[in-house]
Amino acid sequence: MINQENLEISLIIPIYNEEVLVKDALLECLKLLSEKFYNYEIIIIDDGSRDKSLQIIEEYFNSNPNIRIEKNHVNLNQGISVQRGLKMAKFKWVTFNGIDFPLSITELSTVLSEAHYNSDIIVFERKKYLGATKWRLLTSNINILLRFILFPRLSSGFNDMNFTQVYRKEIIDLIMPLAKSPAFTTPEMLFRAKLKNLRIVKVKSKFHERKHGTGSLGKLHDILWTIYDMIRFRYLLWVGIEKHGKTK
């Protein structure tokens, strides 16, 4: 087991219209991170919120040295926001979470403190996911089916590629995706990690459902964008070209 003094993490939180949750959620997050980690930072990416989310964050947290605040001037979606955060992260482990914290900070620190510490990527897979709505559940199942049809070998062994993952900082540039869609950003990163024979560990975890409001994912343009990203990556694999050259 790894001592807490060795644990450090960069936590990316994309936010879009979350004024109801943001203050209390960040206060609780700061408290838990300070208890569980020796070094930590919260990278908040405000994704063009139209409510008072950014105003609240700046009012209460602008002077906190553990919080970094960035703004997308228009709504770019979760995939792009997470990728911005990945590029900014400075600590050994890098992860992302929703402001409603579907993965608990306590579970995150427990997993990192155990044998998985020597991995390159930790993939958290939900023990149970019923979808926020019937539409979200349907689109999620279609997404999984398309991945297995287009990428049977790379998808093998994964039950959940769209929850939360933790990356060792030094491998992030190796697996940065071409995809910008919210539902194919993390699958493409895992596919790239598999192609490079990185050490991937899967962990079953509890999924904490939202208590307030609804998420912003599952819109038609996001679905079409995801399908485009899938087809493009499939083509690149066929012709043997990845982002930085030929597939090895």
> For the chain, which domains are there?
4-241 (3.90.550.10)
User: In the prediction, which pLDDT does 142 show?
Assistant: 84
Q: Angle at which helices 105-113 and 22-36 pack, to 10 degrees?
A: 20
Q: pTM value? A: 0.90
Give pLDDT, residue 135: 61
Which of the residues in the chain have pLDDT under 50? 1, 244-248
What's the pLDDT at 247? 46
Q: What is the pLDDT of residue 246?
A: 47
Cα distances (Å, whole numbers) of residue 188 to 53, 165, 212, 226: 30, 12, 30, 11
Nearest to 12 by CA among 205, 196, 161, 186: 186
Distance (Å, whole) CA 49 – CA 37: 29
pLDDT at 46: 98
